């Protein structure tokens, strides 16, 4: 049974403790209710995908109590600082390059070199983020494909028993998701319309290009609501491997294959949540090892989080563009 909490100081402290212990807590923001997990805890973030039944490892938005806290994990451009001054706290998400020392788990950003960050304005959300003391990854608190929730009752309709708690903050005043703008490239791109209008953005930073609508869901996303450039490790990826060559690295799941000199264990016990949490670190782990010609990946079941894991692996293994 999911705890239904009300936003008293004691309840906020309890919810923050749950998050720090790796539990999932839904909370109200000015836009919609978010399903929160400690963004630095890969296992907790993997459980977000499991709770939502999310079919792909789409990037999640990392929420912070202040712009200073967010900009400690990402590198802000001049435009980002101007937008933060104008609209944070508020319903604006910015996609920016991760800093090298960023502690946010790679699964939070779907293995990309960018991170979507936001400072919400709802007082309960800000109190929870400050009490937690670390970034909180939070997609909408609903089962994947369902309507985004704007009340605690909506959250419980879909997630009761699947998460530890929900903080009941009443109805969300905005009721639509945050605006998402990509500031990681040479020009600003609007990825998702939301609570901050395009006109308001352009009044602060000048022309903002509109991103193309989603046309091919087989490609990975840069942020919620749009597509991104293909991410893959430096080495070619071979799926469903039942043997491993001497010059291949091995991503293992369950009992390992013999002969691998370089190995990253996704889960020795065959646990899909553990494998999901370790997937992106595993794909990157062989990039600096000389003498390897590829990565062999052992079969992973097509069930539960295995669907998302196989989806991401299929993208990594897709033919590279010339």
pLDDT single digits (tens) 125-160? 999 999 999 999 999 999 876 778 989 999 999 999
pLDDT digits (tens, 9 = 90+) for 230-263: 346 789 999 999 999 999 999 999 998 998 889 9
Out of 72-81, 147-156, 292-301, which region has the weakest mean confidence (pLDDT)?
A: 147-156
> In the prediction, which pLDDT does 229 show?
31
Confidence at 113, pLDDT banded by 50, 70, 90:
very high
CA distance 178 to 284: 30
Sorted by where each starts, the structural domains of the chain and their CATH numbers stand as 3-210 (3.90.870.10), 237-317 (3.40.50.11030)
Kindly indicate the confidence band of residue 184, based on its pLDDT and cuts at 50, 70 and 90: very high
Give the model's pLDDT for residue 223: 57
The pLDDT assigned to 89 comes to: 98
- Inter-CA distances, 76 with 61, 71, 79, 97, 181, Å: 16, 6, 8, 8, 13
State the pLDDT at residue 315: 74
Query: Which range, 140-144, 192-196, 211-215, 217-221, has the best average confidence (pLDDT)?
Result: 140-144
Residue 130 CB contacts under 8 Å (≥ 6 apart), including other chains: 65
Q: Mean pLDDT across the stretch 283-292? A: 87
Give the range among 196-200, 248-252, 276-280 with minimum mean pLDDT: 276-280
The reported pLDDT for the residue numbered 213 is 45
Quote the percentage of the chain above a pLDDT of 70. Answer: 92
Q: What is the pLDDT of residue 225?
A: 41
* pTM attached to this predicted model: 0.82
Residue 185: CA count within 13 A, CB half-sphere:
13
Tokens of 57: 């490892």
HEC string for 60-119: CEEECCCHHHHHCCECCCHHHHHHHHHHCCCCEEEEEEECCCCCCCHHHHCCCCEEEEEC
Average pLDDT over residues 208-230: 53
- 106: β partners: none
Query: What average pLDDT does the structure give for the chain?
Result: 89
Kind of pairing between the strands at 136-137 and 61-63: antiparallel
Q: Which residue has the higher pLDDT, 191 or 99?
A: 99
Q: Residue 226 pLDDT > 70, yes or no?
A: no
Q: Which sign, positive or negative, has the C-alpha torsion 44, 140, 178, 17?
A: negative
pLDDT for residue 283 is more than 80? yes
């Amino acid at each position: 049974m999911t705890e239904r909490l009300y936003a008293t100081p004691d309840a906020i402290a309890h919810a923050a403790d749950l998050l720090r212990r790796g539990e999932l807590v839904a909370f109200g923001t000015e836009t919609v209710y978010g399903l929160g997990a400690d963004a630095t805890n890969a296992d907790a973030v993997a459980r977000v995908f499991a709770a939502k039944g999310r079919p792909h490892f789409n990037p999640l938005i990392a929420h912070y109590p202040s712009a200073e806290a967010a900009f400690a994990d990402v590198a802000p451009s001049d435009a980002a600082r101007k937008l933060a001054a104008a609209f944070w706290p508020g319903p604006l998400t910015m996609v920016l390059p991760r800093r090298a020392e960023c502690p946010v788990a790679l699964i939070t950003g779907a293995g990309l070199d960018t991170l979507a960050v936001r400072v919400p304005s709802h007082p309960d959300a800000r109190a929870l983020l400050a009490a937690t003391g670390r970034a909180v990854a939070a997609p909408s608190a609903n089962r994947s494909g369902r309507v985004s929730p704007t009340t605690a009752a909506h959250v419980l309709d879909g997630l009761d028993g699947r998460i530890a708690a929900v903080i009941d903050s009443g109805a969300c005043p905005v009721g639509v998701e945050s605006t998402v703008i990509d500031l990681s490239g040479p020009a600003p791109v609007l990825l998702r319309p939301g609570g901050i209008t395009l006109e308001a953005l352009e009044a602060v930073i000048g022309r903002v290009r509109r991103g193309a609508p989603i046309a091919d869901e087989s490609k990975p996303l840069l942020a919620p609501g749009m597509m991104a450039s293909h991410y893959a490790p430096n080495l070619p990826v071979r799926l469903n491997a039942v043997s491993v060559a001497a010059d291949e690295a091995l991503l293992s799941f369950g009992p390992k294959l013999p002969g691998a000199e370089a190995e990253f264990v996704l889960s020795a016990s065959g646990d899909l949540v553990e494998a999901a949490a370790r997937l992106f670190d595993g794909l990157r782990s062989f990039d600096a090892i000389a003498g390897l010609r590829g990565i062999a990946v052992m079969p992973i079941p097509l069930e539960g989080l295995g669907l998302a894991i196989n989806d991401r692996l299929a993208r990594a293994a897709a033919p590279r563009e010339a």
